[in-house]
Amino acid sequence: MRILILGGTAFLSAEIARQALDAGHDVTCLARGTAAEPPPGVRWVRADRSEGAGAYDGLDGGWDAVVDVSRDPAHARAALAALGSRTGHWTFVSSCSVYDRHDQPGADEAAALLPSLPPGEEASPETYGESKSAIEKLVLEAAGEKAHVVRAGLIGGPGDSSDRYGYWPARFALGGETVLVPDIPGDPVQVIDVRDLAAWILSAAEGGVTGAFNAVGEVALFGEYLDACRELAGAAPGSVVPGSVTAGPGWLEAHGVQPWSGEDSLPLWLPPGHEGFMARSNAAALARGLRLRPWRETLRDTLADERARGLQRPRKAGLRPETEKKLLASLRLG
């Protein structure tokens, strides 16, 4: 196939490009390349999508498949206008953040969506869900029966730059005396391996799969996920796995710890009202060809990647060492 990836330099889009090349496809990536370059072997068209329709002037001919990972409705609208009529299949990588509610475990694709970001309003991190919802609407209107909307959940695996799924195995592998963990052993953890997601996006394009699907992994409990992190961290020769101390969500909130992501956060801990955020149904995607490796395999490979990148590197998510020490001291004092 002749495939165009609008992106190709970051985590998921780069993995799609690599797998497409390995499968023998003719791959073009349109990207600025300011932070990273696409994988070797692709045709790279340097362009800034904020320039609008002119960003696509360097592209010629038709495409069997286009993959777009945009977060900005303006970028998506310009791409659809420039390329929609000359592609056979259009994949938009959306997010489960488009859903209006996150408190219902097992919810499927029929759940209500957030309202679209109004035209002309600038996309921002605070309007991420609304922006993705707006792009879904644009894609379905412009690409119609050739549109595949992929509502991804938390994406993990080697190369993840969000630092969320990898924080816990890396933290136990780092060692020390004690690890502070949230007291949520029964909460769900649902991650999809980037390699599995990329593989399905490509196979769905090859097979002409269309419609909207939750692309999410199988559910594990936070307690068993942590147990697996400890086990993997202790598998390295000479490793000493630290113990752990739990703190309730109320205590953590009162001491300034953030849920989910960001500096001085505890990843995978979610605030009330998000009981279904990592427990959505993936039945429809599985029925249309999504294949998932065991989550422990993803965790193993994630830890190997964390070790390769450096366990002490600065992180986008998780507690800083000095913050964790202060919190543990406060917890001991009661």
Domain's final residue, options 122, 152, 182:
152
If asked whether residues 171 and 148 sit together in one domain, one would say no
If asked whether residues 37 and 173 sit together in one domain, one would say no
Rounded CA gap, 42 and 47, in Å?
15
If asked whether residues 95 and 224 sit together in one domain, one would say no
Domain's final residue, options 101, 123, 152:
152
If asked whether residues 142 and 224 sit together in one domain, one would say no
Rounded CA gap, 238 and 224, in Å?
24
Any domain includes 307: yes
Q: Bridge partners of 87?
A: 63
Kindly state the average pLDDT of the residues 270-296: 97
CATH code, 47: 3.40.50.720
pLDDT at residue 46, rounded to an integer: 95
If asked whether residues 144 and 253 sit together in one domain, one would say no
Summarised one tens digit per residue, pLDDT across range 151-171 is: 999 999 999 989 999 999 999
Domain's final residue, options 152, 181, 211:
152
If asked whether residues 112 and 171 sit together in one domain, one would say no
pLDDT at residue 240, rounded to an integer: 82
From 154, 157, 164, 155, select the one nearest 301 (Cα to Cα): 157
pLDDT range class, residue 9, cuts 50, 70, 90? very high
If asked whether residues 126 and 254 sit together in one domain, one would say no
Summarised one tens digit per residue, pLDDT across range 33-47 is: 888 899 999 999 999
pLDDT at residue 239, rounded to an integer: 81
If asked whether residues 86 and 228 sit together in one domain, one would say no
Summarised one tens digit per residue, pLDDT across range 38-82 is: 999 999 999 999 999 899 999 999 999 999 999 999 999 999 999
Rounded CA gap, 31 and 9, in Å?
7
Q: Bridge partners of 92?
A: 68, 149
If asked whether residues 179 and 142 sit together in one domain, one would say no
pLDDT at residue 78, rounded to an integer: 96
Kindly state the average pLDDT of the residues 109-115: 98
Summarised one tens digit per residue, pLDDT across range 286-323 is: 999 999 999 999 999 999 999 999 999 999 999 999 99
pLDDT of residue 131 exceeding 90: yes
Any domain includes 195: no
Task: List, as own/partner pairs, every contact residues 51-56 make where C-beta atoms lie below 8 angstroms and the sequence separation is at least 24, other chains included.
Answer: 52/78, 53/78, 53/81, 53/82, 55/30, 55/82, 56/30, 56/82, 56/83
Any domain includes 18: yes
Q: State both tokens at 163.
A: 């630092």
If asked whether residues 51 and 133 sit together in one domain, one would say yes
pLDDT at residue 33, rounded to an integer: 87
If asked whether residues 80 and 183 sit together in one domain, one would say no
Rounded CA gap, 306 and 27, in Å?
29
pLDDT at residue 332, rounded to an integer: 87
Any domain includes 278: no
Kindly state the average pLDDT of the residues 233-255: 91
State the total domains in the chain: 2
Of 179-193, 226-240, 251-265, least confident by mean pLDDT is: 226-240
pLDDT at residue 34, rounded to an integer: 83
Any domain includes 284: no
- Cβ atoms < 10 Å from Cβ of 214: 25
Any domain includes 43: yes
Any domain includes 279: no
Kindly state the average pLDDT of the residues 191-214: 98
Any domain includes 289: no
pLDDT range class, residue 25, cuts 50, 70, 90? very high
User: 157-192 b/e with 16+ CB inside 10 Å = b?
Assistant: bbbbebbbbbbbbbbbbeeeeebbbbbbeebbbbbb
pLDDT at residue 286, rounded to an integer: 98
Residue 115, domain extent:
2-152
Kindly state the average pLDDT of the residues 239-262: 94
If asked whether residues 182 and 136 sit together in one domain, one would say no
